[in-house]
């Protein structure tokens, strides 16, 4: 398997998913944290392509 990095994107960290916040759906744009989408290319147990996406903060 290999990992690739795409251009920085704005989603927040994956851990925020667990917080299950209910962000106001009327929001749009605004100051956004700089994050990077990472893609791990691997396979399912029977060998089909499986892509696992994670999102990391890059503001550090």
Q: Would you say 3 or 9 has its CB closer to another protein?
A: 9
Q: Does 5 bind another protein (CB under 8 A)?
A: no
Least distance to another protein, CB of residue 60, Å: 19
Region 28-57 residues binding another protein, contact defined as CB under 8 A: 28-30, 32, 37, 39, 44-46, 48-55
Contact 41, 1 (CB under 8 A): yes
**Separation CA 10–CA 16 (nearest Å):** 13
Say if CB 30 and CB 13 are below 8 A apart: no
Residues within the interface to another protein (CB under 8 A)? 6, 9-12, 14, 16-17, 19-30, 32, 37, 39, 44-46, 48-55
């Amino acid at each position: 398997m290999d990992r690739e990095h795409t251009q920085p994107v704005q989603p927040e960290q994956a851990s925020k998913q667990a917080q299950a916040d209910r962000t106001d759906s009327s929001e749009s744009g605004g100051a956004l944290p700089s994050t990077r989408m990472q893609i791990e290319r691997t396979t399912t147990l029977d060998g089909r392509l499986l892509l696992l996406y994670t999102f990391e903060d890059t503001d550090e």
